[in-house]
Each structure stands twice: as C-alpha cells, then as structure tokens.
Amino acid sequence: MEERRTGENRLFCGERPINFRPSLALALAAAVSAFLAFRFGYYALVLLAVCLAAVPVLLARRKKGKGLFAAFLFFAALAAVIFAVVFSFQSARKAYEGAPVLDGEYAVYGTVSDTSAFDGGMRYTLGDVRFYSREEFFASEFKVYLYVRGRGVLPSGTRVYAVTDVETLSFISYGRVNDSAVLDGAKYRAYAAEEEVFSLGKRFDLFGGVRDRMRAVLTETMEEDTANLAYAMMTGDCSLVDEGIMDSFRYGGVAHIFAVSGLHIATLYAVFGFLLKKCRLRAAWRLLLVGALLVFYTGVCGFTPSAVRSLVMCLVLALADTCGARYDALNSVSFAALTVMLIHPVYFYSVGYRLSVAAAAGIIILGGSLSRRLSRVRFIPKKAASAFSVCVSAQIASFPLLLDAFGYVPALGVLLNLVFVPLISAVFVVLFFCTFFAAAIPPAAAVFLWAPEQLLALSASPVLASDWRFLLICGFTFGGCALLWYLFWFVLTDRVNLKLLPRAAIALLLALAFAAGMFARNFAFGGVRLKVYSMYGTGMIFAEAGGCDYLIVTGSADPSYAGRFFYTEGFDRADAVILACSPEDAAAALPVVARYAQIGAAYIAEGAGIAPHFSDIRVTETDTVSLAGLTGRFYGEGFFFCAAGTEVFVAGNGFAGGGVPCDLLVAAQYEKDALAACSPAFAVCMEEEGEGMLSVSAAGDLQILLKSDIITVKGRNVRYEIRTV
C-alpha cells in the first residue's frame, strides 16, 4: 500500500518507462508509412484507420479530461502525416510509372542541369527535355541521363542535342526503389559518343554555374587527384575521384566526408555564427543570414537528403537560439527526418538519407549515455570520452545499414574516425573559404589554394597509404533483424527509465531473438545453396555444394558491382570458377574475380580459346566438369549441372542454343526459345523481365536452396517453393 501511495514502481523509475516525444513518433510513423506504401500501395492507409480507431481508447484513459486538446492535436497530426506520406508516395510512383515508355532511336533536346563522371566519360542530367522521332514528338516532365563517352565537359545550363537510342528506367530496380533516378526526376537513359552531342547555346543556371566554377578553379590550380578530392568534399560529387582512392576511403570507414551532411553543414553553421556574432549583428539578422548561406550551399550540393537533414537541424538550432528556447537534439533530428520525408517520401529509400539520420540519432540517443558512463572513469578525459562515444555510437547505428547496402563495414572505422574527422573538419573550413576567394579572384587562385592543397594531401595520406581491405567485416546481412539490433541498444541507453533487472531481462531476450534471426537469415543446412546476383550486366551465381564454394560467371564483371557481391557473401575463395560466357567476357571477368577472391581453378567450354595472359590462373577448356557436389557439362556459353538431385541450366549472355530439359533455368537474358526447350519447373532471368521467368532486375538478388526435390526461391519481395517431382 505504501508503494502505491508514493507512486513508486518495481519496473521503472520516473513517471513512465519512456518519455513520449511527438516529433519522434511522427517521424517513425512517416517511415513506416513509406515502407508500407511501397509494399501495399494505398492499402497502407489501413495504418491510418488503426491509429484513428485507437484514439477513443487512449483518450478514455485520460483522467478528468486532462490533456485532451493536446491528444486530439497529436492524433490529427499523425493522421495527416500518414495520409500525406502514403498519398505522396503513390502519386509519385503513379506519375513515374505512367510516363511514356521509350525504346529506340530519338532526337533528344535538353538542358544540362547536373554533371558527373563515369569510367570513360561524363554523365549529364538533362532537364527541359524534348524527344523527336519519325512517328512522334513530345516534351517530357522527366529528365534524361545522357552518358557521353569522351573527356570533354559541358557546363551546366548548356542546351544540347543528340540522336541516340533511349531506354526507359523503372521505378523498381533490382528489388529496390530506384531512389536516385526518382529523386533526380530522371526517367530515361541514353548513350552517345562525344562527337554525337551538339551544343545549342547556354542558359543561366545558378547552382550549376557555381559548381562548374568551383570545379574549374580547383582542377586548374591543384594536382588532379587532390583537386578531385577537394571538389568531392565540397559538393558531395565523388564521380571524378579515382576508384582506387575512393576504395581506400571506403575501406577505412571515412568516405562519409564526401557525403555533405552534419560534418559540413554544422561546421559552416558554427563558423558563420561565430563570425556574425563578432560583427555584433542581432540574433534575428544572424538567423536570416546564416539560414540563407546554408540554404544556398545546400543547393550547390544538389539538395541531397543528408544535406537537407543537416540543414533543417541547424536551422532549428538557430531558431531556438534566437528565441531563447531550449534546444532538444532528438526532437531536432526527428523533425528534420520528418521534413525530408514530407518533401518526398522516396527519400526514405535513399541509403544516404538512412545513414545520415541513423548516425545523427545514434550519436544523440546512444552517444550521450556512453559518454556519461566513460567520463566517470578517472583516467579518461571528458573530451576523449565524448569523441570516442560519438564515433562508436555513429558506427553502431549505421552498422546494419552499411552492411546491407555495401556488403561490408570497416573494422577500424571508429579508430580512424577519431583521428581523421577532427583533422579533416579543420581542413574543410580552410578549403571552403580559400575556394571562395580563389573563385572570386582568379589571378590569385594559386596563392589562395596552395595551403589547402598541402593540408588536404597531408591529411589524406595516412588513409591512402594503407590497404584497409583486409580489415573489413562482411559475409552476412541484417535485413529485418536490424530492428532488433536498434531495440537492443536503445534499451541499454538512459532514454529508457527501466530498473536494472527488467532492463537486463529485456536486453537478453532481444539479444537471443537477434541471434536466432541472424542465424536463420544467413545460414542454411543441407542441400545446395545458390545465390543469384545481377546488376547492369554483371551476373554471377555463387554455389555452395559438397563443402566447396563455386562461382558461375554469365558475362563481363564490373568491379564496383562485383565487389558488393563478394563482400556480402564473405566470398574470398572460389574452389572453381565456371565461365558460362564468351572468351571476351571471360577475359574481362577473371581479373575482377581474382581481385576479390583466390581462384582454385577455372573452366570454360572446349574450343573457347581464352586469352593466354592468365598464366597465374589455371583455365581449363573442357566439355565436362566434375567437382565435389557438382557435375556439369558446357553447351557453348551455357552450362548444365546437377546438384542435390536437381538439374540446373545456366544460359550465359551469348547463349544461342535451344537449351536442355532441366528443373531450374537461370538465363542471363530473356531466352524464349531456351525457356520452351528446357521446360523448367522454375525459371529466372537476370536482367529484363519476360513471361514465365522471375526477373532479378525486378525482384533483386535471389537465394535458391536445392534440397530433396524442392526448389526454394527467396528474394527481397518474393518467395516460392516448387516441387520438381
């Protein structure tokens, strides 16, 4: 009775286990709405109905009507957020998928709005586009990605014309929302040589013109690699940076310095705020000036999700400072995340947005708790405890997202960030202002940029000097288990007012559930497991059979795409590589495979005549292959094998035969004749969709288990179980 009178509770301390934050609840509701809208379309509005149905029950619990108005206001905001996100997502999807489908040669007119580099040329994003053909003409509200082979660069605002083959992009690509294209407003893709693209004059483009000027002054003054690093750090455009250099930053865990986010926006906010305070400007004027400068800089960086999130947080901080209100970091990041999703719900599917929000939220929720605990240790200085806590909490929060998106997480990311990030933040401030003065006073550009060039080269040298690849964590993915991961760490923070025993019990249950989920997701026992990967022509099949690891290659391999496949699987050794492709594709693919995995042996069809410069890799030309758990035969650029009692036929890119009867057909391209000849129980196409075949380009990477006359197929959004008998 005494316990009830004093209001104490055996399970938690304070008024309640978790202090409710409306902004955080609304942001989470927006994220769930975006997720459900992709999975179920307008049926996601059922979530809205459930929330509204809960209103009377929750309000009835209010004692003597206290807080009724605030509760009604929150539920009205919740309903508005859910409806807005679902409706906006579906409207954007309908508009994107409803645009005309183009496939063939067109005369394309457009204005360059953005420029980035790719291997062998430049990619221009064209707006204000018009298409002409013999049969039709129309102006498109969507943009075009124009890939131009050559070294020339067209400035932003240039009106261009080209006659080229045009392809149509899909809203869903490889099982995921095609977020980069949708957010760019790009619906079409075309390729042309430099001499096939004609300039028709130039229009004024403020943000594009500033980017062009920055790129020009940096490349004309600095050494090429350092200039490209500087431009990437200033604008977030890494396309000009050499792939090997980018890999060093990625594997070291510090590539986030090229994603314009809190590091850039917060640093500029602090510097601008300090300078304007020294000028003794009133707080309201400081807010307007700092806000305008940050908005302009965010526009120069292309209004990327991470930059917009950081911008909103800084503006909320500036507004709170101006009004004398108490600033709450968690409310701020929640409001920023919500604002970005309300601008365009597809931002939820952007890896950059997720990483940005997760890292910021991790630092706020977990970093504070960890810092306070470490600062109690006598020999650890408070600043060191704070810096270490920031790095560790950001790493914990981004760990599942990095692993699922890129296939690996740098093991030494925390330690390298402790040293590198404070250093590069100082270099960024110097580089930012020196670039501004260099662009404004071109004759003195070399003088202004000499110091930042030396500082950037010096600070980047430790990252570039080491090979961080051997310290990567890879070989598994989180998927839905990421939710259990975040709940586990959240329960351990001081944001949850639980006492020791219930906190430990909940954390233990979450840890056990997480371990069981990860085990079930990443391991399979018995039978033969196949992993089918494909991305823009890079097609591979990983096979685990007879205690050995095999790799079947169906075409040429792009290093950037192939690397993700190897890291995701933790695949560093191939007992055998089966080359179900042409000799030319095999010659291109083998060095890529050898870059990521140790190759035991390689096999290709008899008479292929593969190039002799693979003396370090034993390539055998043969008709038949007999390996542990896998026996097969080549049919030109196709490969037939039997594993776990299941007959599988792989048709490579250049396969032109009719195929052979099998239980499972995996074709690099849609093969109608092969489908008819094979009469498989199940068929998979790695690229374009076709009737009677599951497309990897639509469903995403596939896991196929062959066991006891049953084929089990699992993808990002699909699941099939087929009996072969």
* Higher per-residue confidence, 35 vs 384: 35
Cα–Cα distances (Å) from 471 to 402, 411, 560, 570, in that order, read 15, 6, 19, 12
Give the mean model confidence (pLDDT) for residues 28-57.
83
Q: Give pLDDT, residue 262.
A: 72
Residue 608, Cα to own-chain centre: how many angstroms? 38
The answer to whether residue 199 scores a pLDDT higher than 80 is yes
**CA–CA distance, 629 with 601 (Å, rounded to integer):** 16
The answer to whether residue 701 scores a pLDDT higher than 80 is yes
Provide, rounded to the nearest whole percent, the portion of the chain with pLDDT above 90: 31
Q: Of 328, 353, 325, 327, which is closest to residue 338 (Cα–Cα)?
A: 353
Q: Give pLDDT, residue 65.
A: 55
Q: What is the 3-state secondary structure (H, E, C) of 111-123?
A: EEEEEEEECCEEE
CB 257 within 8 A of CB 421: yes
Q: Give pLDDT, residue 723.
A: 87
The two tokens of residue 460 are 């980047």
Confidence of residue 2 (pLDDT cuts 50, 70, 90): very low
User: Helices 68-98 and 46-60 sit at what angle, rounded to 10 degrees?
Assistant: 180
CB 567 within 8 A of CB 406: yes
Partner residues linked to 534 by β-bridges: 539
- In this structure, the strands spanning 624-627 and 630-635 are antiparallel
Helices vs strands, H then E, count in the chain: 23, 29
What's the CA angle centered on 73, arms 70 and 76, to 5 degrees? Answer: 150
Give the mean model confidence (pLDDT) for residues 238-267.
84
Select, from the ranges 297-306, 442-451, 563-572, the one with the highest average predicted confidence (pLDDT): 442-451
User: Helices 413-440 and 206-221 sit at what angle, rounded to 10 degrees?
Assistant: 100
pLDDT tens-digit readout, 117-134: 887 789 999 999 999 987
The answer to whether residue 725 scores a pLDDT higher than 90 is no
Confidence of residue 417 (pLDDT cuts 50, 70, 90): confident
Judged by average pLDDT, the poorest of 14-28, 65-79, 143-157 is 65-79
The answer to whether residue 59 scores a pLDDT higher than 70 is no
Confidence of residue 152 (pLDDT cuts 50, 70, 90): confident
pLDDT tens-digit readout, 327-347: 788 888 898 889 889 999 999
pTM: 0.87
Confidence of residue 640 (pLDDT cuts 50, 70, 90): very high
DSSP 3-state of 43? helix
Residue 48, Cα to own-chain centre: how many angstroms? 29
Give the mean model confidence (pLDDT) for residues 345-353.
91
In terms of C-beta distances under 8 Å and separation of at least 24 residues, what long-range contacts does 213-221 make, across chains too? 213/439, 214/300, 214/435, 214/439, 215/240, 217/435, 217/438, 217/439, 217/442, 217/445, 217/449, 218/435, 218/449, 220/445, 221/438, 221/445, 221/446, 221/449, 221/453
How high is the mean pLDDT of the chain?
86
The two tokens of residue 77 are 């905001």
**CA–CA distance, 122 with 237 (Å, rounded to integer):** 13
Q: Give pLDDT, residue 117.
A: 84
Report how far apart the first and last C-alpha atoms of the chain are (Å, whole number). 69
Please report the sign of the dihedral spanned by the C-alpha atoms of residue 179, residue 184, residue 190, residue 196: negative
Residue 681 carries which DSSP code?
S
Q: 685: Cβ–Cβ under 8 A, 6 or more apart, which residues?
A: 667, 668, 669, 670, 671, 693, 694, 695, 696, 697
CB 112 within 8 A of CB 154: yes
Identity at 717, one-letter amino acid code: N
Q: Give pLDDT, residue 66.
A: 59
pLDDT tens-digit readout, 500-547: 888 899 999 999 999 999 998 887 677 788 999 988 888 899 998 888
Give the mean model confidence (pLDDT) for residues 442-470.
88
Give the mean model confidence (pLDDT) for residues 194-200.
90
Residue 136 carries which DSSP code?
-
Confidence of residue 7 (pLDDT cuts 50, 70, 90): low
